[in-house]
Chain A
Amino acid sequence: MRFIQYLGAWVLSLIEEMGKMFLFLLSAFAWLVRPPLRVKQIMKQIHFIGFKSSFVVVLTAVFTGMVLALQGYYSLRKFGSEALLGSAVSLSMIRELGPVLASLMVTARAGSAITAEIGLMRITEQIDALETMAINPLQYLITPKVVAAVLAVPLLVSIFDVVGITGGYVVGVKLLGVSAGSYWSSVESAVEWKDVYGGLLKGLSFGLIVSWVCCYKGYFTAMSAEGLGKATTEAVVLASVLILVWDYFLTSVLL
């Protein structure tokens, strides 16, 4: 009986939390269309979320492309299809690995920093200070971050795709002996426009998930150092899980 009681309480608190998160996102969107538009803040956040994540995204992309080419070559060789290495690497990158891994890197780097920054502002009453100055904290802090992430993550996904395919080329062609012509021609024949915009759509939605979850967790952090640490961890875990879950649903729609 007690188990059912606990289960019921857990489900109710989960629904309440989901509702609170959804209202938070709606409020952030509502401030998008109300002046001031905070272009400077948005540009600053694009620099932080986008530009400053580019190194880790490029690094991840290089090695992902390289290992994909390595694994792909030996698998395809069993069927005498090494010439299709380019299409295997490019389709994997553009459809799945680019959007998912780039977003996970952004979550780990920028997402955790966003949660920590906003959480610390909450704990040190800086958010209260904004309210006392008649400045809406959602408009000042949250909306620019959401807009920036939605714009920056698809760009990072594109960079990931290009660098990853190039990494695959380096390993496949230069190290494993696949002909450059067959590598690039298989890329060209396999990749379609719907693969590209599907990948970018994933990047856009993952950018929304990262910024939404990380901002929410920071904004409603408990007022202690332990609470802030917990909020940062929860933000990264929840954003990562939601990315993977949403990836499945989006893929099933796009395919």
Chain B
Amino acid sequence: MIQLQGVEKKLGGQSVLKGVDLDIPTGKLTTVIGPSGEGKSVLLKHIIGLMKPDRGRVLVNGVDISRLSGKKLNEVRKQFAMLFQSAALFDSMTVFENVAFPLREKRLASEADARKMVEGILERVGLEGMGHKYPAELSGGMRKRAGLARALVMGPDIILFDEPTTGLDPLMAKTIHDLIVSMHRVFGFTAVMVSHEIPEIFGISDWVAMLKNGKIAAMAPSHDFQRLDNPIVQEFIAPGALMASVSP
């Protein structure tokens, strides 16, 4: 289980997280929503230790990773994978090399086994035959799928998704959502997703949490979230609230 307890973070002198308390259920798909600029991506980076809180704790299966660094932090990170907003594929490597990268670096499989695993994963995400292409030759949706393949190839227990459908057309966004859900069903990992795709996320998530004013304003099972008697939630998820949340 992942737990954030009283997490506070300031960036550039501004308070972004002001005491976040959040429990992420194991094996479930939890989506964090909220207005733009609230710190959802910052929250995600705390979970994997890319950022350290100014105050509070981040517990992963009981281990406080906010106090860890170096080898000990890397040991915890072996449970994780992350799909970044722009997929963060390595430009100088082909899709195949990108997906095989963690396997080769960690020497977890022979070259022949690694090849089979990579080709298998690429087929699952709908990128069979695309292994020879470079990231610059791929569309946005293909890059996300390649990033997802790289995240899945190590068989992680926890996958973090940072706005996986941002910048994609509605059809491709649905494809990516469906892919995440089907992979979640097959592999059973704990998923934490940051997304703006309302109302689509209610159909794919097990739990939904809302970050507002630097704190978790509400958290509930997906099917109950929309019926919450919480004015902050209702204002955000009502039609037009999404437009208001991204306007300057």
Contact = CB atoms under 8 A, between A and B. Distances in A.
Nearest to A128: B50
Nearest to A134: B74
Given A131-B50, A134-B74, A134-B78, A126 B90 contact: yes
B88 A125 contact: yes
A126 B88 contact: yes
A129 B82 contact: yes
Interface in A116-165: 120-121, 124-126, 128-129, 131-136
23 contacts: A121-B90, A121-B91, A124-B86, A124-B88, A125-B84, A125-B88, A126-B88, A126-B89, A126-B91, A128-B84, A128-B88, A129-B82, A129-B90, A132-B48, A132-B77, A132-B82, A133-B77, A133-B101, A133-B102, A133-B105, A134-B77, A134-B78, A135-B105
A125 B74 CA distance: 18
A236 B122 CA distance: 41
Interface in B63-118: 74-75, 77-78, 80-82, 84-86, 88-91, 101-102, 105-106
A153 B77 CA distance: 37
B2 to A, nearest CB: 15
Contacts of B48: 132
Interface of B: 45, 48, 50, 74-75, 77-78, 80-82, 84-86, 88-91, 101-102, 105-106, 154
Contacts of B88: 124-126, 128-129
A132 B102 CA distance: 10
A132 B86 contact: no
A124 B78 CA distance: 22
A116 to B, nearest CB: 12
B144 to A, nearest CB: 13
A124 B90 CA distance: 9
Contacts of B106: 134
Contacts of A133: 77, 81, 101-102, 105, 154
B80 A132 contact: yes
B231 to A, nearest CB: 35
Interface string A91-133: 0000000000000000000000000000011001110110111
Nearest to A44: B92
Given A121-B90, A132-B82, A136-B74, 12 more contacts: A124-B86, A124-B88, A125-B85, A125-B88, A128-B50, A129-B82, A129-B84, A129-B90, A131-B77, A133-B77, A133-B101, A133-B154
A126 B90 CA distance: 6
Contacts of A134: 74-75, 77-78, 106
Contacts of B84: 125, 128-129
A128 B83 CA distance: 11
Contact of A125 (B77, B81, B86, B102): B86
Nearest to A120: B91
B47 to A, nearest CB: 11
Contacts of B74: 134, 136
Max chain A Cβ within 10 angstroms of own Cβ: one of B45, B88, B91:
B88
A53 to B, nearest CB: 19
Nearest to B160: A132
A218 to B, nearest CB: 14
Interface in A22-45: none
Contacts of A121: 90-91
B78 A132 contact: no
Interface string A205-245: 00000000000000000000000000000000000000000
Contacts of A132: 48, 50, 77, 80-82
Nearest to B101: A133
Nearest to B76: A134
A207 B154 CA distance: 38
B159 to A, nearest CB: 10
Contacts of B78: 134
A120 to B, nearest CB: 8
Contacts of A125: 84-86, 88
A31 to B, nearest CB: 11
A120 B91 CA distance: 10
Contacts of A124: 86, 88, 91
Nearest to B154: A133
Nearest to B51: A128
A102 B113 CA distance: 46
Contacts of A131: 50, 77
A124 to B, nearest CB: 6
